[in-house]
A and B are shown apart, each in its own frame.
Chain A
Amino acid sequence: MLFTSYAFLGFMAILFLLYYLIPGRFQWELLLAASYLFYFIAGPSWLLYILATTVTTYYAARRIEKTGQQQKAYIKVHREQLSKEEKKAYKDKMKTRQWRWLLACLFLNLGILAVVKYTNFAISNVNGLLRAVGSARQFGFWDIALPMGISFYTFQALGYLIDVYRGTVEAEKNLFKLALFVSFFPQLIQGPISRFGDLAQSLYAEHVFDAEKFCYGLERILWGYFKKLVIADRILTGVNAIIRDTGTYRGAYVFVGMMFYALELYADFTGGIDITIGIAQALGIGVKENFRRPYFSKSVKEYWRRWHITMGTWFTDYIFYPISVCKPMLKLSKLARARLGENIGKRIPIYLSSFAVWLATGIWHGASWNFVVWGLGNWVVLMASQELEPLYARLHGRFDVQGRGWYKLFQVLRTILVMSCLRTFDCYRDVPLTFRMFGTLFTEHNWHILWDGSLMGIGLSAVDYGVLLAGLVLLVAVSLLQRSGSVRDRIAAKPYPVRFLLWYGLFLAVLLAGAYGIGYDASQFIYNQF
């Protein structure tokens, strides 16, 4: 059931109605039933995967917490009898027990994710190696469909488990409540990856109908549909034409494809997140923001703080920090400082930890080498920017450009360009092809296609370009307004006729200019596949 399907709109309408009609204490149960129904419709057999993750995470978290409580109780009772060493030995023993539960659950769930998502990737690599060494032996691929949202809910569940292990949240006592946290349907398709501490209370609480919040939620949903249907799905035709015909669309077309894809991905992903957050808001539930105007970033580092925020913080909290402060890393850092000097030694944990993060980010995005290269490409750019910071500082000092409007604009455009270049790996999904196509930017001198009407030949008409331009202007205008506060608050402060005109105008824009229905190749949300 796609967010853009009639069935989903009907599903939502019924849910909203029931949610506010039933007694508040049953609301979370209704959400759980709706989430499982949503998942069941997507793929009945996939329920087994999400159930397995839910049950194992629930059980492991409970065991970890019980072990911790047991330890505390034991120490409290035997405080007087135990020596300091005995207490430490006991604590270590219990910590090891908790660690084992954590590790077992992590292995099991990451194992499920790895098996369903990466088996065919592994087989294709093994087959490639066999061919390379001249062997005729080839392994067949595994015919398995990737359960919807498995990367998202697995990470969300494991984040909860690690938080319980760290003692930052209490383990959820009710299996069904945890099941709702793992399966909350608006997030299942493409996130955000919520933390238990941020979402749970709001998810389980009773909510009375609040017209203002509900209206805010609907506005957000509508804005999401505008981005998805009017911009992303319309420009998709042009992007697909360029990507699929690599013989024809080379040189400047690659640049056009990069830019169009940047717009498509932004409109698609943020549109989906707007719908998710809007649905949650209409239900009275707070879901964390996942984007903060990323295309206004002045550096790649800043961009990654503002794009897919919940994924970035997940990797930082659960991969970067644990690796950078783990014992072997500290030892390595110490050794490097001693052998290679303070300057290099202190960088080693950061470099290696961020390498692991970007490798994981790449692999998380997809089971193919292009994503790995894309992830590591980001790592290279980030590390290079970090190393070049002193140089930039000197240049800024010398030329006095920091803070100037045109320089900010230059920085923003540079960031968009760098990120778009890296994303060509995502577009072509083939590493050698991406390099070849990128190379044509410099070898094929066909920049005239930008103004001689050739762009009418990539499946987009003058009307399409007109709609896209209007949509882009609106996107930028709203983003600019957001810098000085909530746009929805501003709308809410306007007189009713103005509000009505704005809402209805947006609704009509989606209705009339949306690329949906027969004749449009409306796509799934791009992040569904992750």
Chain B
Amino acid sequence: MGTAVIVLASLYLLQRLLMPKYAADVVEGALIAEYYGEEKDHDVVFIGDCEVYENFSPAVLWQDYGINSYIRGSAQQLIWQSYYLLKDTLRYEKPQVVIFNVLAMQYNEPQREAYNRMTLEGMRWSRDKADAIRASMTEEEHFLDYVFPLLRYHSRWSELGAEDVEYMFHSPQISHNGYYMRVDVKPAENVPEGRILADYRFGENAWAYLDRITALCRENDIRLILVKAPSLYPYWYDQWEEQIEGYAAENDLLYINFLELVEETGLDFTTDTYDAGLHLNLSGAEKITGYLGEVLRQEAGLKDRRAEEHLARVWDGKIEAYEQEKERQYANTALDDSK
């Protein structure tokens, strides 16, 4: 008995030590897990890939519209992962609106293990997580490696750093309600044209999961809104746009393509992106979130909840952290510029 305890405890500690902490360089892997520490009373939940967690700021929705929102997004989050994350979210709360970013429709099959890990490891264990893993695994992956991540990260001992010890049992807060803030600027110049594709039709699997998301929202009386964030790259083809427009019309869904709203939102790709058009920086995210907030107020009829005392108190703390992070990053950027 004592032996078993020693073995299990030491294996657990090893696993905690060896698992990536996503606290410094690649922080995107930390986003999904942060949701579970939240109070679950959101009006709006975003689901999608980097085009949601880098392009929309829930802090703006709260400050300007009193909308309580959260982003459940991670890097290259595939549509079936979004579906299972939505199901997972519905175990805790029932938002009035779900916003799904449609770029993920481009992928019809599992892509890369590293991105799978960043999305799936943060999910709490449930049947939805198991289904998400099974739907996402590439050929080289094993389900057991998700159950016992030590098997996957067994060789990380040779690259352990101070953060692996520091964050063995707790993680630093990375996002602001799922939003990953970047304030630096890298203007979009020479944005590449999309390469010619052999087939512009979205795949059957992707459509099936979009149908499942739509059905799930309907069953739960949730308003589903489809969006295409204004990222210039990966390229959004006209043929893709037509298909999404068709689907939205067919299913009576609101679809907003922010690429077509550059003027209305006031986006300026010389100042509002930090990586030459792939993602927006804080300035860009705040602009399009402002536009979205208006849509949510008018189209979805979301109420201003700033008068709710408890929620306002929660958000006060969040806004403080948001502003501090903003200041810290601006200070760092200024420092970098001065070098």
Is B151 among interface residues, defined by CB-CB distance under 8 A? yes
For B158, the chain A residues whose CB sits under 8 A away are 461, 463
Is A77 among interface residues, defined by CB-CB distance under 8 A? no
Is A504 among interface residues, defined by CB-CB distance under 8 A? yes
**When each residue 1-30 of chain B gets 1 if its CB lies under 8 Å from chain A and 0 otherwise, what string results?**
001000100000010000000000000000
Task: Give the contact-size bracket for chain B.
Answer: 10 to 19
Q: Across the interface, do B144 and A6 meet the contact criterion of CB distance under 8 Å?
A: yes
For B7, the chain A residues whose CB sits under 8 A away are 504
The smallest beta-carbon distance between B268 and chain A, in angstroms, is: 42
Q: Write the chain B residue with the least CB distance to A520.
A: B155
Q: Contacts A500-B3, A504-B7 known; A514 to B154 CB distance under 8 Å?
A: yes
Q: Contacts A500-B3, A504-B7, A518-B113 known; A511 to B154 CB distance under 8 Å?
A: yes
Choose from A6, A512, A518 the contact partner of B157 (Cβ within 8 Å): A512
Is B221 among interface residues, defined by CB-CB distance under 8 A? no
The smallest beta-carbon distance between B8 and chain A, in angstroms, is: 12
Q: How far is the CA of A517 from the CA of B7 in the complex (A)?
A: 22
Q: Contacts A500-B3, A504-B7, A518-B113 known; A512 to B155 CB distance under 8 Å?
A: yes
Task: Give the contact-size bracket for chain A.
Answer: 10 to 19
Q: Across the interface, do A518 and B3 meet the contact criterion of CB distance under 8 Å?
A: no
The smallest beta-carbon distance between A110 and chain B, in angstroms, is: 38
Q: Across the interface, do B144 and A512 meet the contact criterion of CB distance under 8 Å?
A: no
The smallest beta-carbon distance between B133 and chain A, in angstroms, is: 14
Q: Which of A427-478 contact B (CB under 8 A)?
A: 461, 463
Is A140 among interface residues, defined by CB-CB distance under 8 A? no
For B14, the chain A residues whose CB sits under 8 A away are 508, 512
For A500, the chain B residues whose CB sits under 8 A away are 3
For A461, the chain B residues whose CB sits under 8 A away are 158
Q: Contacts A500-B3, A504-B7, A511-B150 known; A519 to B144 CB distance under 8 Å?
A: no
Q: Contacts A6-B144, A504-B7 known; A517 to B154 CB distance under 8 Å?
A: yes
Is B140 among interface residues, defined by CB-CB distance under 8 A? yes
- The winner among B141, B142, B145, B154 for most chain A CB atoms within 10 A is B154
Q: Across the interface, do A517 and B3 meet the contact criterion of CB distance under 8 Å?
A: no
The smallest beta-carbon distance between A311 and chain B, in angstroms, is: 34
Q: How far is the CA of A508 from the CA of B144 in the complex (A)?
A: 18
Q: How far is the CA of A504 from the CA of B2 in the complex (A)?
A: 14
The smallest beta-carbon distance between A258 and chain B, in angstroms, is: 27
Q: How far is the CA of A327 from the CA of B142 in the complex (A)?
A: 60
Is B306 among interface residues, defined by CB-CB distance under 8 A? no
Is B326 among interface residues, defined by CB-CB distance under 8 A? no
Q: How far is the CA of A46 from the CA of B272 in the complex (A)?
A: 62
B residues lining the A interface (CB < 8 Å):
3, 7, 14, 113, 140-142, 144-145, 150-152, 154-155, 157-158
A residues lining the B interface (CB < 8 Å):
6, 461, 463, 500, 504, 508, 511-520
The 6 closest A-B pairs by CB, nearest first: A463-B158, A6-B144, A512-B154, A518-B140, A512-B157, A511-B154
Can you list 8 contacts pairing A with B, beta carbon distance less than 8 Å? A461-B158, A463-B158, A511-B150, A512-B154, A512-B155, A516-B154, A517-B142, A517-B145
